Structure 1
Amino acid sequence: MIDILVISISTPIKIGVYENSVLIEEIEKDGMTSNLLPIIFKDLLKKYKIDSITYVNTPGSYMAIKVAYVFLKTVCIVNNIKLNAVSGFLFNENSPIKALGKKYFFNKNDKIIIDFLEEKSIISDFKLPKYLDKTKFSSNTLPIYNLPAV
C-alpha cells in the first residue's frame, strides 16, 4: 500500500512516499505549489500505484492550500485514489505557523488562533514523519482557512 503525504503550506514543499505507513522516499523542492505539484506527481504516478494522498489543509498559505486541494482532488478523481487531509501542526512540533503579515497561527487546546509571535516562541521546520499515523487524518478534505474575511 502506497500513501503520499504533501506538505505544501511552506517552502520548501515536502512530499513523503510511504509503503505500509513507513517512509520510503522524501521529495523536497523550493518553488511555487502550482509549478511543482504537476511535475512531482507526473513522476510519482509513473513510479507507484498510489492508494491514498494526504495533504495539509490547515493552517498556512491560502494560495498553497487552494492549489494543492484543487490539483490533488483532480488527481484523486481521475486515478481513483483516496484523498485525506490533516493539520500542519502535526508536522512542525506544534509550533507557530506563519499567517499574514506579522501574525502567526497557534494551536491552543486544539483550537487554531491567530496572534503575534512572542519573543520566546520557537518555530520548528516541517518534517515528514518516518511513520504515518493515519488516525490523525480526516476524510473531510476541504481547505480550512482560519482567517476572517477581509
Structure 2
Amino acid sequence: MPNRDPRAEAELLLIGVTSPIVAALYENGRIVETFVKSGKSSEVLPPLLHEAVHRYRLRAIYYANGPGSFMAIKVTYVMAKTLSIALDIPLYGADAFLFNENRPIKAVGKSCFVKENGKISIRSDCRVEAAPFVPPPVLDRSLFSKECEPLYVLPPV
C-alpha cells in the first residue's frame, strides 16, 4: 500500500508588492497560518516558500500582482510562477488593492498608486497614509484571474 502524504492540502496567498511580505495558507478556503516578514523579497520569499512546501501540499498559488515595487513584484512573480510550474499547480493573480482596503500603495518618493473607478494610476503628491496588507480570513477565489502577469504601473519618463 502506498504511503499517504501526511501534509495537509493548502492554497498559498502571497502579497509581495512591498516590505513587509505577507503570506497566508488556506485550508478549505479558510486561513490557517499567516507570515509577515520584512526585508527584500529575494531574501524573504525563498525560506518562506520552502517552509510552505515542506509543511503543506500546495494546490494553488494566489498572489498580488501589483502595483508596488517593480522589483518586489517581479521577484514574487518569478518565484510564484516557478513554484507553480515545478509543482504543476495553478497560479492566479489579483491587484494588491484587494488586500489593503483599496488605500494608496507607496510608489517612488512621495507618489503613490491609487485605484479609482477601477483604474489604477499614480498620484504625485500622496497625502493619504497607506494601509497595511492583510490577507482575508476566507479566500474568495472568484476575485483572482488566471491572467496573472505582473501589473507594472510605471510613471511616465
Quickly say closer, same or farther: Cα 1:11–1:84, change in 2 above 3 A.
same
Q: Secondary structure at the match of 2:78?
A: helix
In the alignment, what sits opposite 1:139? Answer: 146
Q: Residue type of the partner of 1:138?
A: S
In the alignment, what sits opposite 2:72? Answer: 64
In the alignment, what sits opposite 1:110? Answer: 118
Q: Distance in 1 between matches of 2:119 and 2:75?
A: 24
Superposed, 1:22-61 pairs within 5 Å as 22-61=30-69
Q: Secondary structure at the match of 2:65?
A: strand
Q: Distance in 1 between matches of 2:130 and 2:76?
A: 23
Q: TM-score when scaled to structure 2? A: 0.90
Q: Residue type of the partner of 2:130?
A: I
Q: Distance in 2 between matches of 1:118 and 1:50?
A: 38
Q: Residue type of the partner of 2:131?
A: S
Q: Distance in 1 between matches of 2:88 and 2:37?
A: 26
Q: TM-score when scaled to structure 1? A: 0.94
Q: Distance in 1 between matches of 2:130 and 2:43?
A: 26
- Specify the structure having the higher radius of gyration (Cα): 2
Q: Distance in 2 between matches of 1:58 and 1:138?
A: 13
CA deviations 1:49-82 (Å, max 9, x no partner) are 1000111111101000001111111111011111
Contact 2:122–2:155 under 8 Å retained in 1:
no
Quickly say closer, same or farther: Cα 1:44–1:118, change in 2 above 3 A.
closer
Quickly say closer, same or farther: Cα 1:79–1:149, change in 2 above 3 A.
farther
Structure 1 alignment gaps of length 5 or more:
none
Contact 2:106–2:112 under 8 Å retained in 1:
yes
Provide the identity percentage. 40
Quickly say closer, same or farther: Cα 1:70–1:118, change in 2 above 3 A.
closer
Q: Secondary structure at the match of 1:54?
A: strand
Aligned residues: 149
The root-mean-square deviation of aligned C-alpha atoms, in Å, is 1.3
Q: Distance in 2 between matches of 1:3 and 1:125?
A: 22
Contact 2:99–2:136 under 8 Å retained in 1:
yes
